[in-house]
Amino acid sequence: MSTPQKPDPDRRYSSEEVADIIRLSLQDESRRNNDALVDYDELIAIANDVGVTSDQIDHAVYMLQEAQQTRDKERSLWLRFKAHALLFAAVNLLLIAINLLTGSDTFWAMYSVFGWGLFLLGHYAGLRYAPQFVEMAMQRARNLMDLQQQNSADTDEQVLFSTTDSLGMTETSGMLRFDAGKLVMEYQTIDALFGVVKSSVKVLEIPVANLSLARIDQKLWSADLVLQSKSMGVLSSVPGSNCGQLRVKLSRESVLAAKVLISHIGDKKNATAQ
């Protein structure tokens, strides 16, 4: 057996390679010592050495336990199906034997074989294919939950908006966020007809003290954010502003974040007033 070469000390490994190396190492150790077990504290220590947090370990342990429980349940269900199949075979063989021995002109045993056989076939189809559809439905539900959580996490920090000029020739889209007592607006204008970019990304910082009003106008299918400044010059550079007021259309995912943003503005104004 050839001696393994020493790994390159300058090589860097991906997270998947690290996981595979640790798994293979533990498998090799377990072959040498069948009684070698790792408790939770040792597991956390090993994880910390490779940059894995305890929360990730807890989640992985939960997933492992869930997978084991699923396999145990599947094994139990298949054992029940095998018992069902053996009972089907034994009973129907007995009925066929009785039918033949009695010399009946009607092969009545076929009704039991056919009827019970359909039920057994349905039992098999349920075990064979139903888990796939259930898993697909569960995965879809998980994806929707992840998307909602991601949208919620994203919109907690920023508000997406859009607005058009009075003629509908240009469209401005951007984002709003609250940062250090200021309302920070980033926006860009494009040609609404041809989609040509008409301006670079611009950033406008508005001190909360310069705002006299911030509210949400909730409509049937949409919502608008209305900002009113104390002077016309504060919002004059933003397309769509008129007499110191700016009305922008909120994306549906940003309505909740806009409410949080207004709350921050109100808290800051109250703190300043005190």
Domain carrying residue 230: 159-273
Pair (25, 100) in one structural domain: no
Predicted TM-score of the model (pTM): 0.42
Whether 252 and 155 have beta carbons less than 8 Å apart is answered as no
Pair (85, 123) in one structural domain: yes
Pair (245, 142) in one structural domain: no
Whether 172 and 233 have beta carbons less than 8 Å apart is answered as no
pLDDT for position 155: 45
Order of strands, sheet of 159-164, starting from the edge strand that comes earlier in the sequence: 202-207, 182-191, 170-179, 159-164, 245-250, 223-229, 211-218
Whether 202 and 175 have beta carbons less than 8 Å apart is answered as no
Q: Is residue 3 part of a domain?
A: no
Q: Show which of 104, 126, 155 is a domain's final residue.
A: 155
Q: Quick one: pLDDT band at residue 83, thresholds 50, 70, 90?
A: very high
Q: Is residue 9 part of a domain?
A: no
pLDDT digits (tens, 9 = 90+) for 169-221: 788 888 888 887 788 888 888 876 666 677 788 888 888 888 888 888 887 77
Q: Show which of 108, 123, 155 is a domain's final residue.
A: 155
